[in-house]
Structure 1
Amino acid sequence: MRILVVHNYYQHQGGEDMVFHQEVNALRGDHEVKEITFKNKTGLRGLLQFLSYPFNLIACYAVKKAIRDFNPDVVHVHNIHYASGPMIISTIKSCRIPIVMTLHNYRLICPSATLFYKNSIFTNSLTENFPWTAVKLGVLDNSFFKSLWVAFTYWIHKKLGTFHKINTFIVLSDFAKSVFSKSTVDLPGNKFVVKGNYVVDPQISSRRRSESFIFIGRLAEEKGIIPLINALKGTSHFLKIFGAGPQQSEVEHLTAGAANITYFGFQANHVIQQHLVEANALLVPSICYEGMPMTILESFALGIPVIASNIGILEKMVIPLYTGLHFNPFEKRSITASLDQWQSLNSSVKDSICANCRKEYVDKYTPVHNMSMLIAIYKNVILNTKQS
């Protein structure tokens, strides 16, 4: 199979980039794969890219040339924000090539992309034909103009029927599928297929468990790191924090005098894995709708339990007393109570939960399982395109 994969890099690397690279590398094992990528710039070039967001003719030309040169059987689109833009979808369709698109976030519904604003879930855009509330609030980078331009870009392409030209949308979970189904995006339910992310098996058969919990992720408001620190500071629970982000200085300040909390900063993956494999449990205190956190998959692969917020997909991925526990991230007492409960479990129960985590990984999140689903999706859209 000949597969063209299209992706738009953000200015700073994130989880979507990791998924893109993983899938491309895995596909190359058995298929001919070509990738065409775009990257968001800063300064004047970035402004010109952003202004071209609704109708980027340069990006369309690049995609059309790649299709002409490579002649793919299918095109898989990942991120299109903002250096490529939605118009490339119409370009691909004009070449009569079937299109698969992975929705890594909720930008199709709301310019926030996360359905999160100022420390809480933001769902107004789900019921508005044009997300005026999000625009007026400046949900994207606290900017009225940025929010308006992104909202307009997706609104005009909805009106033009651009997204109906996509054969299949891949969403990461049943939860994400339900969110899109409840929204005004107006796409038929049979266009959505659930296929999660995956991680490579670390193949570590044994580990030495410590008493420390661990947080791995971006230090940002939506990740709930500050409420977590405030809840655990001065308690008997030990916490290791790995990551960087806009709240880094605040994290450094709060943890500077905390005897039970250590901030390690940004570290290489192999360093983080060494600490994760010894962790008591992974803590995921997010206060937003997550996509499918790779840290949870990595923890499951290592047999590490997860104690997470009871919000969105986290409530589905983490099963209480089977793969971990839940807490309300907005309530300090709920956070500490969950950790107290975990500590009170006897070692045999904890060992059973660790085994369950590993089983979840083997059953759902391995490369073989994931890629077989992806190939099946490709074959299905190719077959349906030939029959239509």
Structure 2
Amino acid sequence: MKICLLNNLYKPYNRGGAENVVAAMIKAYQNSGHEVFLITTRPESLDLGENKDCRTFYISSEFYNLNKKPKISRLFWHLYNLRATKKYHAIKKILQAEKPDLVISHNLMGLDFKTAQTIQDLKIEHHHFLHDIQLLHPSGLIIYGQENSADSLSAKLYQKATQFFLGSPDLIISPSRWLLDEHLKRGFFKKSKTEIKHLEDILNIKLPATANTKQPPFKNLLFAGQIEKHKGILFLLEAFEKLAGSEMKLTIAGDGSLLPLIRERFSKDKRLKILGRLSKENLEKSFEEADVLIVPSLCYENYPLTIIEARQAELPIIASGIGGIPEALKNGGWLFKPGDAESLFAEINKN
């Protein structure tokens, strides 16, 4: 089978779990004997050369610099992106030439939401994979304590537009029940089949049958993820600064806009080790060295891949009880109240 994967970002410009899922899907499909190609974006006027993972078609996009633009400019960009005609025609031309049997679309922000209709008009089997709430809100985020943001008037108008342009994919895949329900209760996917499929099943990751053997109290903590406010990194560091004992250690692995800030602000704390982005091999080594993975998200997560990777490594997890995280965690760790330092450290220090 010839399969096209479509996502707005890919390495070397990957930011989070969605790009890692796409990379893992490419490898899994290739290992199963399928022919795979990718459509993604690149910064304007930049030639990325050949992608070693698979044949890749790059569409020039302004998406990479969006967070540097004023809020009003971002608003107009999001409206334009709902039907970015130039990108739409480029993607349509690729699909007509390649004639895939199946297109699996992921995050379409920065490409063109009307691409979904193009796939359907060309009578190609279309599966759409949910990663976050970018069909419900242009930010792709619901922050804890600000849950009404996805039901504001502007959000509802935005949802009407994304529903129209997404059309009716043959299948909607969601790793978590929580994320699928957030869309269904707002009227999405009425004519599409839906399926909840956990990441470990999609990516053929075998998880240990038994629970991890390490138990609290924990001394060596690990954060692995985007260094962004909504991921709870500042909350975690401030809580650690206030409540952690002198014998406790915290390792920070990941990249993001706040990395320079935390290096400057927290560099004097000898209990901290700030590593930046790690290769897969070095991340696995960090899992081995840690006592527990901390997932302190302040946003409603879908089904974090980092949790699945930690469970695979038999590393205990303490995570915010928010969104789809409880579904991903299962018996692999403990939940705490989002943004509550006392709740977090009660789990870390539990006897």
TM-score bin (small chain): 0.7 to 0.9
Q: Which residue identity does 2:222 align to in structure 1?
A: I
Select the residue among 295, 308, 312 that pairs with 2:323. Answer: 312
Report the count of equivalent residues: 312
- Unpaired segments of 5 or more residues in structure 1? 133-150, 345-388
Q: Which residue identity does 2:13 align to in structure 1?
A: H
Q: SS in structure 1 opposite 2:301? A: coil
Q: Does 1:325 align with 2:334?
A: yes
Q: SS in structure 2 opposite 1:28? A: helix
Q: SS in structure 1 opposite 2:181? A: helix
- TM, length-normalised to structure 2: 0.78
User: In structure 1, what is the equivalent of residue 103 of structure 2?
Assistant: 75
1:183-332 matched pairs, under 5 angstroms? 183=186, 185-188=187-190, 191-198=193-200, 211-233=219-241, 234-235=244-245, 236-319=247-330, 322-332=331-341
Structure 2 contact 101–124 (Cα < 8 Å) conserved: yes
1:374-385 matched pairs, under 5 angstroms? none
Select the residue among 104, 116, 141 that pairs with 1:114. Answer: 141
In structure 2, C-alpha distance between the alignment counterparts of 1:106 and 1:197, rounded to whole Å: 17
Deviations 1:64-83 (A, max 9, x none): 3333323222221112111x
In structure 1, C-alpha distance between the alignment counterparts of 2:259 and 2:102, rounded to whole Å: 42
Q: Does 1:62 align with 2:90?
A: yes
Choose between structure 1 and 2: higher helix proportion.
1
Structure 2 contact 308–328 (Cα < 8 Å) conserved: no
Select the residue among 160, 165, 171 that pairs with 2:168. Answer: 165
User: In structure 2, what is the equivalent of residue 24 of structure 1?
Assistant: 26
Cα drift, residue 286 of structure 1: 0.7
User: In structure 2, what is the equivalent of residue 123 of structure 1?
Assistant: 147
User: In structure 2, what is the equivalent of residue 8 of structure 1?
Assistant: 8
In structure 1, C-alpha distance between the alignment counterparts of 2:248 and 2:191, rounded to whole Å: 45
Structure 1 contact 208–278 (Cα < 8 Å) conserved: no
Deviations 1:188-225 (A, max 9, x none): 28632112324676999xx9989411111111111112
Structure 2 contact 142–150 (Cα < 8 Å) conserved: no
Pairwise CA RMSD of aligned residues? 3.2
Measured at CA, do residues 339 and 85 of structure 1 come closer, stay the same or move farther in structure 2, by a change above 3 Å?
same
In structure 2, C-alpha distance between the alignment counterparts of 1:194 and 1:128, rounded to whole Å: 27
Deviations 1:152-178 (A, max 9, x none): 5x54353xx333331211112011112
Deviations 1:93-140 (A, max 9, x none): 221222111121101111121113xxx3433244346427xxxxxxxx
In structure 2, C-alpha distance between the alignment counterparts of 1:189 and 1:281, rounded to whole Å: 43
In structure 2, C-alpha distance between the alignment counterparts of 1:297 and 1:262, rounded to whole Å: 23
In structure 2, C-alpha distance between the alignment counterparts of 1:225 and 1:261, rounded to whole Å: 13
Cα drift, residue 239 of structure 1: 1.5
User: In structure 1, what is the equivalent of residue 127 of structure 2?
Assistant: 100
Q: Does 1:46 align with 2:55?
A: no
Larger Rg: 1
Q: Which residue identity does 1:217 align to in structure 2?
A: G
Cα drift, residue 337 of structure 1: 0.8
Q: Which residue identity does 2:316 align to in structure 1?
A: P
Q: Which residue identity does 1:46 align to in structure 2?
A: E
Percent of residue pairs bearing the same amino acid type: 23
Q: SS in structure 1 opposite 2:62? A: helix
Cα drift, residue 42 of structure 1: 8.6
Q: SS in structure 1 opposite 2:199? A: coil
- Unpaired segments of 5 or more residues in structure 2? 47-59, 67-76
In structure 2, C-alpha distance between the alignment counterparts of 1:203 and 1:106, rounded to whole Å: 27
Structure 1 contact 8–37 (Cα < 8 Å) conserved: yes
- TM, length-normalised to structure 1: 0.71
User: In structure 1, what is the equivalent of residue 118 of structure 2?
Assistant: 91
Measured at CA, do residues 92 and 282 of structure 1 come closer, stay the same or move farther in structure 2, by a change above 3 Å?
same
Structure 1 contact 114–289 (Cα < 8 Å) conserved: yes
